Structure 1
Amino acid sequence: MKDHDGATQGACPFRGTRIGGAIGSEPQLDHWWPNRLKVELLHQNPVQANPLGPDYDYAEAIKDLDIAALKADLRALLHSSKDWWPSDYGYYGPQMVRMAWHSAGTYRIADGRGGSAEGMQRFAPINSWWDNGNTDKSRRLLLPIKQKYGAKLSWADLMMLAGTLALEDMGLPIQGFAFGRVDAWEADRATYWGPEGWNGKRPSEVGQGPLEGHPNQMVTRDLRWEGDVRSDHYDLEAPLANANQALIYVDPEGPNGNGNAQDSARDIRETFARMAMNDEETVALIAGGHAFGKSHGMVSADEIGPAPEGAPIQAQGLGWQNPEGLGFAQYTMTNGIEGSWTPDPTMWDNSYLENLFKYEWKQETSPAGAVQWTPEDPDAPKTPDAHVEGQMNPLMMMTSDLALKVDPEYRKICERFLADFDYFTDCFSKAWHKLIHRDLGPTSRWLGPEIGGTFIWQDPTPEAEYPPISEADIAELKKTCLTTGLPLRELIATAWASASTYRDTDKRGGANGARIRLAPQKDWAVNNPAQLSRVLSALEQVKSDFDAKGAAKVSMADLIVLAGCAAVEAAAKAAGHDICVPFVAGRTDASDEWTDAETFDWLLPVVDGFRNYRHPGIRYQVPAEQLFLDQAAKLALTAPEWTALAGGLRALDQNYDGSETGIFTQRKGQLTNDYFRVLVSMDYAWHPQDGEEMFDIRPRAGEGASYTASRCDLVFGSNSELRQLAEYYAADDGEAYLVRDFVKAWHKVMMLDRFDVAKERRRAMALC
């Protein structure tokens, strides 16, 4: 029997038809237009990807976590061994330390990306970096514990706790441990990990033959390094921090596997500094970490199967399948170097440094063909084999270990650690604490009963010594700020400069603490130091007069933001919009003593599109609008918020130097939609000046105002997604929407670092 169009009922409608074009199989936009601005990066990790839903509160859930039971379960795992992945020395401790280290060690200070906070080691590309070989096995070992505690425990917290508990179990006193890392639910598509193609190949080489095993066989360093390792001009592309693609820090065999310890020291110093570690912390982490466990290099790299992202579907996410012997245990292959650094690889002691300095080391080759070192003295201590009972093996050092011995500054630190083991212990414990918490933000975000002390790298702010100012105080102070004689644009500029330092990537910066009063921020050119000094001086007087009246006190951090909010209200009123900009008090003022000025310099924007600023001393390899997008991402803005803030700040005359670039209005300083009306109008034509960095905008008819613009202006008209937003705000009724959305986005930026305030209140507009 056939239905009305002749198809046999019950039969497959695709019978005899070639099927193709499934979603995700087609060439993507990046294939056709590789240089397009990827606005969708502002909307990563959406609520739709999260099965826990938008109302899930990890801070509340973790209150029900039985931490004592969790630690007992982890200790039981550490002292076990599974047939499918046997533990070295019958103990998983060093393996868990490596997993945690390699997750947290992706952090880089230049843009705050990487680190432990979202458990990104579970996703590509990090899960398939060659340097992360077999960390997939560590996470599978933890899976039963994750299943037991479910949503009360994030993967990110579990991985860090496993490594930290292992260190404590092996004898290292720890500084404490903070929970509070909230898992991501999709891969990170925004972080720039380098110019190389997948697995380290040059983009032009991708797809040209099989991938090779060792990262140095894949590609040389010249795509990310400028200059020779032994030259005075030796620089790593910003914001990158790892020496080679697919490595966490440096090549343990030396740059490009050259076996040169002095060259390795130069790499170590550069990369660890970019991961926010000084020389002492660097030595402590290397010497402390290599007190435990072993390295694995029993099988040639070109025999190992693909990484997790390239593994066949039946591998179920496990990569690096090894065809030799059992494929694990004594046949394990990870980074290609084989052996242990110490005679007792599961105990915290000083034998790593003792052996490094007591013996001379000769170069040899591992079974996998990697460069490594062994003692010249045949009577040097031996280390037990991790799996073959009764077998003793020579000690091993990597080229990167010898770097600590040959570099003069590193050697001094090592000698101090050798002379004072307690001091070394304290330094390693603190450096580990910093490593795994660096991107977690201030202590107000940390959860659990054992968060440890307070450190300068947390950017601490003092506890308030007085209650927040009242609503009546807020109203009074707004009026006072507007009668100082300061232009509205300068009050707005100071508040924006203070708050917009925030980076959601590592929760640094922001208005709380009022560090815009302190070095280095007060001296940044983008903050117009002369103007800033004038505004701060006037606001200090407002604060002094207010504080002298009675018990109520106002912090400079609150006053800077409040003055900006009052100025935005006045600018909107001048344009015919009677609005109230919300304000939540409670900020406190930081001091120089609790400000790490050196690391705060990394928050200096290289391009600030909101203020039409470009750092004059930095060369750019990408267009300014790409860096503007990156700035919006670090401020956790959506595309509409980004657009509304950019257009609103232009209308409010917020260029850092007072220039006319992008000021498309004859009503400068009023909160209007003039910027968007000019930008999308076909009554104007756009003409590049020298090059394509600055542009002239002229009336086509030859009459009317002309303007200048930067790439950070024109992108809102040229990018198809941003243009839809610009046209929305340019409509006849768009000004009201712009004012509404600008105020919401302004309030969001002012509150980004207020982790001491509940989410609901941070988002609330109820105060108005």
Structure 2
Amino acid sequence: MDAKTGDISGGCPFNGDGGVRALLGRTNRDWWPDALQLEILSRGGTSPDPMGDDFDYAEAFNLLDYDAVKRDLTALMTDSQPWWPADYGHYGPFFIRMAWHAAGTYRTGDGRGGASSGQQRFAPLNSWPDNGNLDKARRLLWPIKQKYGKHLSWADLFVLTGNVAIESMGGPVFGFGGGRKDVYEPETDVYWGSEEQWVNEGVPTRILPDEGKALESPLAAIQMGLIYVNPEGPGGDPHDAEGMARDMKETFARMAMNDEETVALTAGGHAFGKCHGAVPPDQLSGAPEGEGLHLMGFGWATDPDQIGEGHITTSGLEGAWTPNPTQWGGDYFRLLFKYEYELVTSPAGAKQWQPIDPDPEDMAPDARDPSKKVPTMMTTADMALKRDPDYRKISERFRDDQAALDDAFARAWFKLTHRDMGPKARYLGPAVPAEDLIWQDPVPAGSTPSDSDVSAFKSKVLASGLSVAELVKAAWASASTYRQSDHRGGANGARVRLAPQKDWKVNDPAELAKVLGKLDELRGSLSMADAIVLAGAAAVEKAAKDGGFEISVPVTTGRGDAGEEHTDAESFEPMEPFADGFRNYLKTKAPVKTEDLLIDRASLLGLSIPEMTVLVGGMRALGAVSTHAKHGNSIGVLTDRPGTLSNDFFVNLLHMGTSWEVVDESGDEEFIGRCRLKGEEKWRATRTDLVFGSNSQLRSVAEVYAENGHEQKFVTDFVKAWTKVMDADRFDLRCAKYHQ
């Protein structure tokens, strides 16, 4: 398995043993069956957002008094509350953990997770073992959220609070970008795993090399309910040094971090605060989502007197990493390399490492009584930074060069907390760094061509000998990489002509190279990004005209062209589609149904059911299926006039004169459609095709497009959905007004 791509089981993004249902994992109802069920009130498309569809958060954020918020947050850091006292009199470490865990769920495999919608407020994240007691951090922030209201989302507040916490303790911060709009319900389309127990309930690690078990993609955390790795070691084994480093490298890579960033984040985060494992975990109450009404959303509660004494258990580990837990500096690496460490057990029963015979000045203050001194500690994950040769080399450099650590931590923290925001155009506020970073997928500014240049180009394209299907497929290959989960991908930048996208099988590389070469020859002063989209629009217009409809496909020009210097090719590798039902492409049979993969892809594109349906029907009619599809380059094209934009796919799919049967050798993936009267073969199709006739909800939409009198509606709806995909990533235009 490739740690960067998460590629396992021959490229399948799901565990090949079939035991993991990548789109059918456990739900909140499974974890907490007695929790209040509100889904019935959101059925029929009813939004739970109390702000309404016309609320413009970016506009509201731009009116925020940013400096005043930071002053209030700075004051909060040392305003210790008796119901949850601050360790060492400073909430900074607590809030760093809150922000880190809000952002740290991001994973590159599908772009889901992260801090961008404030999901830490909702189940399952609000009740993950690794998020223990962060319910109190969020309540400490409520007066500030209440004060600034609509101008500051919870999602932005989480990250900004982490920044202020670092600054208040003398740490380095690279910048802050606002713009994370809150949601008001759990994101149910995020797969967190299929285990039926949490990490602290004896569940083994997700990587078991001796059993041939790799970490399933798109997951990144090493066990259910963790943000990253088990700090006690793989499966809780503190002696597995090799496995600890392996787990760290694997999970951090899947969260977009290289080894240097991993070391910097670990050391920087652990420069502050302490772990909590002062009492046995059986003394704690349950997690917030399953607790009684009288606790008002609090979980993991203990006796108030014990809380006041600091007798708190979260991770089960106990102690600070450094003798100065509220001050930035180089103590973490100094102590890590100065001492030999022995394995000890915390009061809560967790395995941790303690320095042997520490000097008095290297002892930490007690979290509640600064007159007392207690030993510092390291987790098994910390020990990996000097046990593993790769990590050790980086750690020694940071130990000897504090400025290098300062810069590396500040940049890695900024990446951690902003990786899921997408292009820099979405960042708001006065603290956005001027520097363009490679992981932001920068695209040079484009220019808007004249109408005459556009018209001339489209005419040349249609006379070039390139087919409708070829042009449509090239445009789709460029634009359909967009993911609304982390706002990466899309047509802007034309990265479809760069590695690795130009070589993805789903894109039919030889055909794509031919099309792009011809468009480059014809485009003149147009950017390649605009040329690809305009060529696709010209093909759709021609196909509609051939079907009897004069339409104009809107194209918003002005895209720029990214070069290799703007592109972290390695980071795009996890974005390669394993399946694309719109092009009837499936790399190999998966342990989940192929139609489920279509739904997941449509979700990442931000499509509704009607939009997905009309796009599939239109792509089939246009003949825009992959030549590298397992089933051939005409399967699913249920029309006698491919290349014409028509509703033939739905008309023929739903025709009662056709009966369907499985092609035996296909493994239930390919089907033959035969004439009921004569028995002759008429069509071939895949599961992705037939689901629009077999599934009652999808069929109800397909029937609309197959009905007499809806031919024009089909064409119109296809163009709208097509344009939505082509323009999905145009944040350079949609966000421009917020930067004036």
Establish whether TM, by shorter chain, passes 0.5. yes
343-352 vs 319-328, greater mean Cα deviation: 319-328
Q: Single out whichever of 685-694 and 306-315 deviates more from structure 2.
A: 685-694
Aligned residue number for residue 217 of structure 1: 201
Name 2:541's counterpart in structure 1: 569
- Contact 1:87–1:329 under 8 Å retained in 2: no
1:427 aligned residue: 408
Aligned-residue offset at 1:304: 1.1
Superposed displacement of residue 702, structure 1: 2.0
Q: Alpha-carbon deviations, 1:621-665, whole Å to 9, x = none?
A: 211111111100000000000000011101111111061211111
1:277 to 237, 257, 260: 257
Q: Which moved more, 1:328-337 or 1:424-433?
A: 328-337
Partner of 2:714: 738
The answer on 1:330 being equivalent to 2:300 is no
Contact 2:265-2:412 within 8 A present in 1 as well: yes
Structure-1 residue corresponding to 2:335? 355
> Identical aligned pairs, as a percentage?
52
Q: In the aligned structure 1, how far is the partner of 2:716 from the partner of 2:99?
A: 44
Please tell me whether residue 240 in structure 1 is matched to residue 222 in structure 2. no
Cα gap change, 1:736/1:218 in structure 2, threshold over 3 Å: closer, same or farther?
farther
Question: Per the alignment, do residues 600 and 732 of structure 1 end up closer, same or farther by CA in structure 2, a change over 3 Å counting?
Answer: same
The 5 A counterparts of 1:104-115 are 104-115=103-114
Q: Which residue of structure 2 lines up, in the alignment, with residue 683 of structure 1?
A: 657
Q: 1:228-267 CA deviation, whole Å, 9 max, x = no partner?
A: 3xx8x55101110000000000011011111123221111
Kept in 1: contact 2:84–2:307 (CA 8 A): no
Aligned mates of 2:508, 2:578 — CA distance in 1: 15
Q: 2:235 aligns with which of 250, 253, 256?
A: 256
Q: What SS is found at the alignment partner of 1:698? A: strand
SS of corresponding position for 1:640:
helix
Taking a change above 3 Å as real, the CA distance of residues 759 and 575 of structure 1, as seen in their structure-2 partners, is: farther
- The TM-score with structure 1 as length reference comes to 0.88
Cα displacement (A) at 1:390: 0.8
Q: Which amino acid aligns with 1:712?
A: T
Residues 291-316 of structure 1, C-alpha deviation per residue, up to 9 Å, x if partnerless?
A: 00000001212221111100111111
Q: What residue identity is the alignment partner of 2:86?
A: S
CA distance in structure 2 between the partners assigned to 1:579 and 1:130 by the alignment: 55
Q: Cα distance, 1:523 vs. partner?
A: 0.9
AA partner of residue 96 (structure 1): F
Q: Distance in 1 between matches of 2:146 and 2:705?
A: 48
- The higher-RCO structure (CA 8 Å, 6+ apart) is 2
8 A contact 1:97–1:162 mirrored in 2: yes
Cα deviation for residue 440 of structure 1 reads: 0.3
Conservation of the 8 A alpha-carbon contact between 1:241 and 1:271? yes
Q: 1:266-665 alignment to 2 at 5 Å?
A: 266-323=246-303, 325-327=305-307, 329-379=309-359, 381-452=362-433, 453-464=435-446, 467-543=447-523, 546-547=524-525, 554-616=526-588, 620-657=590-627, 659-665=633-639
Q: How far did residue 473 of structure 1 move? A: 2.6
**Helix, strand or coil at the partner of 2:660:** strand
Asked if the contact 1:97/1:166 (under 8 Å) is kept, the reply is: yes
CA 681–45 in structure 1, closer or farther in 2 if over 3 Å, else same? closer
Q: Do the aligned residues in 2 keep the contact of 1:86 with 1:329 (CA within 8 Å)?
A: no
Aligned counterpart, 2:86: 87
Q: CA deviation at 1:756?
A: 1.7
Return 5+ residue gaps in structure 1 as ranges: 1-27, 32-39, 201-214, 548-553, 762-768
3-state SS of the aligned residue for 2:558? Answer: coil
Aligned residue number for residue 731 of structure 2: 755
- The aligned amino acid for 1:176 is G
Shift of 1:583: 0.8
Contact 1:44 1:188 (8 Å CA) reproduced: no
Q: Tell me, in whole angstroms, the C-alpha distance in 1 between the residues paired with 2:105 and 2:493.
A: 28
Alpha-carbon distance, 1:337 to partner: 0.4
Q: CA deviation at 1:45?
A: 12
Structure-to-structure mapping, 1:144-155, within 5 angstroms = 144-155=143-154
Cα offset for 1:760? 12
Distance in 1 of aligned mates of 2:174 and 2:339: 33
- The verdict on how the C-alpha distance between 1:30 and 1:166 changes in structure 2, with shifts beyond 3 A counting, is closer
Residue identity matched to 2:236: G
More displaced stretch, 570-579 vs 675-684? 675-684
Instruction: Tell me the amino acid that sits aligned with residue 584 of structure 1.
Output: T
Cα distance change on mapping 1:329 and 1:646 into 2, 3 Å: farther
Residue of structure 2 in register with 1:76 after alignment: 75
SS at match of 1:438: helix
Residues 45 and 184, structure 1, Cα contact 8 Å, conserved in 2: no
Identify if the C-alpha distance between structure 1 residues 280 and 68 changes in structure 2 by more than 3 Å, giving closer, same or farther.
Answer: same
CA RMSD of aligned residues (A): 2.0
- In the comparison of the two structures, how many residue pairs are matched? 693
For residues 73 and 391 of structure 1, what CA distance do their matches in structure 2 show?
Answer: 31
Query: C-alpha distance in 1, partners of 2:710/2:720?
Result: 15
Q: Give the superposition deviation at 1:119.
A: 0.5
Contact 2:28 2:123 (8 Å CA) reproduced:
no
Amino acid in the other structure paired with 1:741:
D
Q: Deviations over 1:478-521 (max 9, x none)?
A: 21211112111111111110000001100000000000111111
- Show the 5 A alignment for 1:722-733: 722-733=698-709
Residues 755 and 44 (structure 1 numbering): CA distance in 2 closer, same or farther, change over 3 Å? farther
Q: Tell me the distance in 2 between the aligned counterparts of 1:495 and 1:715.
A: 25
2:429 is paired with a residue whose SS is strand
Look up the equivalent residue of 2:604 and give its one-letter code. Answer: K
Whole-angstrom CA distance in 2 between matches of 1:163 and 1:81: 17
d(CA) in 2 for partners of 1:115, 1:640: 28
Question: Which residue in the other structure is 2:36 paired with?
Answer: none
> How far 1:463 sits from its partner (Å)?
2.1
Contact 1:366 1:372 in 2 (8 A): yes
**C-alpha spacing 1:303/1:686, structure 2 compared with 1 (3 Å):** farther
* Aligned-partner residue type, residue 595 of structure 1: T
In the alignment, is the contact (CA less than 8 A) between 2:547 and 2:646 conserved in 1?
yes
The CA distance in 2 between the partners of 1:433 and 1:759, in whole Å, is 21
Q: State TM-score, norm by structure 2.
A: 0.91
Give per-residue Cα distances to partners, 1:55-107, cap 9 Å, x unaligned.
Answer: 11111111210001100000000121011110011001000000000010000
CA distance in 2, matches of 1:670, 1:746: 15
* Separation in structure 1 between the aligned mates of residue 28 and residue 393 of structure 2, nearest angstrom: 53
**Counterpart Cα distance in 1 of 2:252 and 2:671:** 41
How many angstroms apart in 2 are the aligned matches of 1:226 and 1:515? 36
- Cα distance in 2 for partners of 1:54, 1:114 equals 23
Deviation at 1:225, TM superposition (A): 3.6
* Aligned residue type for 1:706: K
Say if 1:321 and 1:577 are closer, same or farther in 2 by CA, change over 3 A: same
In the alignment, which residue of structure 2 is the partner of 1:12?
A: none
* Secondary structure of residue in 1 paired with 2:264: helix
Amino acid at match of 1:469: P
